[in-house]
Structures are given as structure tokens and as C-alpha cells.
Amino acid sequence: MLAEKAGKIYNLPWDSMKAVGCLCDIGYRGAACELEECPNGPDPIDGFGNESGRDCSGRGVCNYDIGVCRCFKGYYGSRCERRVVDVSVIA
């Protein structure tokens, strides 16, 4: 039972035989585990990243069809964990 795996108690309520779900393998999510999760990590500038439930380290959008991050402008890396350094500011 899913409730047991989640450490919850679910003692035969009215819908106990009606509600169903999947327990997905690591790296997948969705009602039928059909969505591939993207690589993830903490936010590169100490904001809200994966520890807050945000995909792609909080700096991108996940394409669940292929499990690849599309990083926001100014960020790059497989999990959007790197910032682009503006060299014009350094000069």
C-alpha cells in the first residue's frame, strides 16, 4: 500500500478501494511515472533550489519528456548550476 510506504495510516475509509497511484522509480514522476526528472541541486546563488522543490536548481525549466533542463538567461550547466560571468563588469 502506498500509505504504508509513506509511513501513513489509512484504515479502510470509504475510498480505500477507489484511489490508486504509483510509486515511481528514482528519477521519474507523474501519475504513471511517465515523466523523467531533470538533474537538480541547490540554487547557485543561495536562493530556493531543489530543497524547496524547484526543478533545475531553481534556475531553469525541466523538459519532462527527455529529462533535460532549459536554463534561464544567465545560467548554464546540466542542472543550471553555473552562472554566466559578465566579463564587461570585470574589465
What is the pLDDT, as a whole number, of residue 20? 66
What's the pLDDT tens digit per position in 2-53? Answer: 667 777 776 766 666 666 677 899 999 988 899 999 999 888 888 888 888 8
Residue 76 DSSP class: E
User: Hey, is 50 helix, strand or coil?
Assistant: helix
Instruction: State the average pLDDT over residues 53-69.
Output: 93
| Mean per-residue pLDDT, 73-80 | 94
Question: What's the confidence (pLDDT) of residue 86?
Answer: 63
pLDDT recorded at residue 72: 95
Is the predicted pLDDT of residue 90 greater than 60, yes or no?
Answer: no
- Residues in Cβ contact with 60 at an 8 Å cutoff, skipping those fewer than 6 apart: 38, 69, 70, 71, 72, 75, 79, 80
